């Protein structure tokens, strides 16, 4: 008989029974939906009262092009937005910066000034639409721009719902779009959490993102463990700043993947919810039940999909949607079937949206809360996953904690090691991938490609650079200089930088100018590399 192991590393038995739940206490470990420790979901009736929000990841070219795609998806029933920014924007570079050449608008929307955010959300009421901003190193100025647009629309601050990712620790671990050294980067995370908690009570000023760490190569258990460790680091950061835990913890959110084995992914989230609830209540003494709730966007990463026979990715996406629904997602996003080839086409994004809608309306997955509860397999798997997550958390502590592990490069090295091991298992066929390493036909890859390739138009860059030049020409340079000078002065002190950043944004200072004002004080990060 073939031996099987979960991606997290523990063995999967051929059958499960009551004996596998001998150590499980129903009230302590499973409980009721909407009740501590939230193993079965954070709301009593879950999707019977409110479905997950659907927010495809969208952004390319100019803000006007992205705005058109937003409206296309909303016209077909998408009820929330998730914004992709190009690499220059993520790295705090203006579109006319020599370092940005060839990257403007390629993998996301280009943003240089407040005028770009105004164009991106023209005709979209920000007091009625929830928007995620997938931005980290530049989360503070991009979110300040978003708040400024909402104010220009007349939206009351208490009605603005946005989720800037703002998780710089996972950038150091997985993606690399960091700018400043670790400590000032954490300061900016804290400044945005504090500012938003005080002025925008429905915002989610940090979205802890295990998603990108998993995409970089870690295991399912490590994804959850590292996410919980990062969340704990941000809680400790805010407590050290003098905030009470219940003043900010209810608005912490998460972003995780679900592209592996369905039941392992479900177990990961059930275990993660109860570990997070216990951590916030017992370790950090949070008293508000909303502080104990693990609220998550769940979606698939692009690495789940394959170049070969791309239509098969539609099926993979449906299973990801099912896993996310069974796992208790508050928000869902799916990769598109053309993900391995191109920026998603309108057709591909519509299919992904329809996949989520069919899962919600036709499959029955939303009919009852946590329908897998009580399964010998799922409950045993949840306990096994919890134990493995705790082992990974203990390993992080032996590294000196998540922040020190990032500084030293130890976490990055471990993720790289796991990525190598995973690729070995893929190449060997131990992890099967249909039409990739098993059931492979004799047709070349090119023969089974039927996707609409995105054709990047260089005129988009030209238009963006021309618009930037126009903004610089028409703005009040004195106001910009004053705002940037204040930002640099505040960066040398200990004040909350969101206030001078907001002043600079409203004066139409460019993202590059804002980033540079802080870089001149903070310096740049140099990654520690370990093998």
**Given strand 130-134, what is the order of strands in its sheet?**
57-58, 80-84, 130-134, 162-164
pLDDT in tens, 476-508: 999 999 999 999 999 999 999 999 999 999 999
78 in any annotated domain: yes
* pLDDT confidence of residue 106: 92
- With cut-offs at 50, 70 and 90, classify the pLDDT of residue 300: confident
376 in any annotated domain: yes
* Average pLDDT of the residues in 109-125: 98
Q: How many CB atoms lie within 10 A of CB 324?
A: 32
Helices then strands, each counted (H, E), the chain: 19, 11
* Average pLDDT of the residues in 321-335: 97
105 in any annotated domain: yes
pLDDT in tens, 391-433: 999 999 999 999 999 999 999 999 999 999 999 999 999 999 9
**Long-range pairs, 98-103, Cβ under 8 A, ≥24:** none
The yes-or-no verdict on residue 162 having pLDDT over 70 is: yes
* pLDDT confidence of residue 338: 94
* pLDDT confidence of residue 531: 58
- With cut-offs at 50, 70 and 90, classify the pLDDT of residue 121: very high
The yes-or-no verdict on residue 333 having pLDDT over 70 is: yes
pLDDT in tens, 186-223: 999 999 999 999 999 999 999 999 999 999 999 999 99
Which is nearest to 116 in space by CA: 81, 141, 82, 97?
Answer: 141
- With cut-offs at 50, 70 and 90, classify the pLDDT of residue 527: confident
* pLDDT confidence of residue 441: 80
Q: Are 441 and 208 in contact (CB under 8 A)?
A: no
β-strands 252-257, 296-299 pairing? parallel
* pLDDT confidence of residue 447: 57
521 in any annotated domain: no
Domain count, the chain: 1
Tell me the HSE value of 181 on the side-chain side, using a 13 A CA sphere. Answer: 9
pLDDT higher for 310 or 450? 310
478 in any annotated domain: no
* pLDDT confidence of residue 448: 63
Q: Which residues contact 280 (CB under 8 A, 6 or more apart)?
A: 235, 245, 249, 286, 291, 292
Cα–Cα distance, 289 to 291 (Å, whole number): 5
191 in any annotated domain: yes
Encoded tokens for 355? 């996949």
* Average pLDDT of the residues in 241-247: 98
- With cut-offs at 50, 70 and 90, classify the pLDDT of residue 302: confident
SS3 sequence, 289-328? HHHHCCCEEEECCHHHCCCCCCCHHHHHHHHHHHHHHHHC
- With cut-offs at 50, 70 and 90, classify the pLDDT of residue 449: confident
Domain holding 327, by residue range, is 4-448
pLDDT averaged over every residue in the chain:
95
* Average pLDDT of the residues in 432-454: 82
β-strands 80-84, 130-134 pairing? parallel
Q: How many CB atoms lie within 10 A of CB 527?
A: 12
pLDDT in tens, 335-393: 999 999 999 999 999 999 999 999 999 999 999 999 999 999 999 999 999 999 999 99
Among 256-265, 396-405, 441-450, 480-489, where is mean pLDDT lowest?
441-450
* pLDDT confidence of residue 379: 97
Cα–Cα distance, 467 to 465 (Å, whole number): 5
* pLDDT confidence of residue 445: 65
- Asked whether the bond before 302 is cis by omega within 30 degrees of 0, the reply is no
- With cut-offs at 50, 70 and 90, classify the pLDDT of residue 185: very high
The yes-or-no verdict on residue 446 having pLDDT over 80 is: no
234 in any annotated domain: yes
* Average pLDDT of the residues in 273-283: 98
Share of the chain above pLDDT 70, in %: 99
Question: The domain that contains 250 carries what CATH number?
Answer: 3.20.20.240
Using CB atoms within 10 A of its CB, is residue 427 exposed (0-12), middle (13-18) or buried (19+)? Answer: exposed
Encoded tokens for 39? 């193993």
Give me the residues paired with residue 58 across strands: 83
* Average pLDDT of the residues in 174-187: 96
456 in any annotated domain: no
> DSSP states of 84-118 as a string?
EB-HHHHTT--TTSGGGTTTTTSSSB---SHHHHH
Residue with tokens 């470990």: 29
Cα–Cα distance, 502 to 147 (Å, whole number): 9
* pLDDT confidence of residue 530: 67
Encoded tokens for 221? 């258990």
């Amino acid at each position: 008989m073939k031996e099987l192991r979960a991606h997290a590393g523990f063995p999967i038995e051929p059958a499960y029974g009551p004996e596998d739940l001998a150590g499980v206490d129903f009230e302590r470990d499973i409980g009721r939906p909407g009740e501590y420790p939230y193993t079965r979901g954070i709301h009593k009736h879950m999707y019977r009262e409110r479905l997950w929000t659907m927010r495809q990841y969208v952004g390319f070219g100019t803000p006007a092009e992205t705005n058109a795609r937003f409206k296309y998806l909303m016209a077909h029933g998408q009820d929330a937005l998730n914004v992709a920014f190009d690499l220059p924007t993520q790295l705090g570079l203006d579109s006319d910066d020599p370092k940005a050449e060839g990257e403007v608008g390629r993998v996301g929307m280009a943003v240089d000034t407040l005028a770009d955010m105004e164009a991106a959300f023209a005709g979209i009421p920000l007091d009625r639409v929830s928007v995620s901003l997938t931005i980290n190193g530049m989360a503070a100025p991009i979110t300040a721009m978003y708040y400024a647009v909402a104010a220009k629309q007349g939206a009351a601050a208490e009605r603005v719902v946005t989720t800037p990712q703002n998780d710089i620790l996972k950038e150091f671990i997985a993606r690399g779009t960091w700018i400043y050294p670790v400590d000032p980067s954490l300061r900016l995370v804290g400044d945005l959490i504090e500012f938003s908690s005080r002025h925008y009570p429905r915002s989610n000023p940090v979205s802890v993102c295990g998603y990108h760490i998993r995409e970089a190569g870690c295991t399912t258990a490590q994804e959850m463990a590292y996410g919980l460790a990062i969340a704990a680091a941000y809680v400790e950061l805010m407590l050290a700043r003098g905030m009470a835990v219940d003043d900010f913890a209810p608005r912490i959110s998460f972003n995780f993947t679900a592209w592996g084995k369905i039941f392992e992914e479900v177990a990961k989230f059930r275990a993660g919810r109860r570990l997070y609830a216990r951590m916030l209540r017992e370790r950090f003494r949070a008293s508000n039940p909303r502080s104990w709730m693990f609220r998550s966007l769940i979606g698939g990463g692009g690495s789940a999909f394959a170049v070969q026979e791309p239509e098969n990715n539609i099926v993979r996406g449906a299973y990801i949607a099912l896993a996310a629904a069974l796992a208790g997602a508050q928000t869902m996003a799916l990769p598109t079937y053309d993900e391995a080839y191109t920026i998603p086409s309108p057709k591909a994004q519509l299919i992904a949206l329809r996949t989520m809608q069919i899962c919600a309306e036709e499959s029955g997955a939303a009919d009852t809360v946590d329908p897998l509860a009580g399964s010998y397999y799922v409950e045993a798997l949840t306990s096994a996953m919890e134990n493995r997550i705790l082992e990974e958390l203990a390993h992080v502590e032996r590294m000196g904690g998540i922040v020190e592990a990032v500084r030293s490069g130890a976490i990055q090295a471990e993720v790289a090691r796991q990525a190598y091991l995973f690729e070995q298992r893929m190449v060997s066929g131990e992890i099967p991938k249909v039409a990739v390493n098993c059931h492979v036909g004799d047709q070349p890859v090119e023969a089974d490609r039927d996707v609409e390739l995105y054709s990047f138009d260089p005129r988009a860059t030209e238009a963006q650079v021309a618009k930037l030049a126009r903004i610089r020409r028409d703005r009040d340079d004195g106001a910009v200089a004053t705002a940037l000078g204040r930002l640099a002065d505040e960066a040398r002190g200990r004040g909350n930088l969101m206030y001078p950043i907001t002043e600079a944004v409203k004066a139409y200072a460019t993202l590059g100018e804002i980033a540079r004002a802080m870089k001149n004080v903070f310096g740049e990060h140099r990654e520690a590399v370990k093998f």
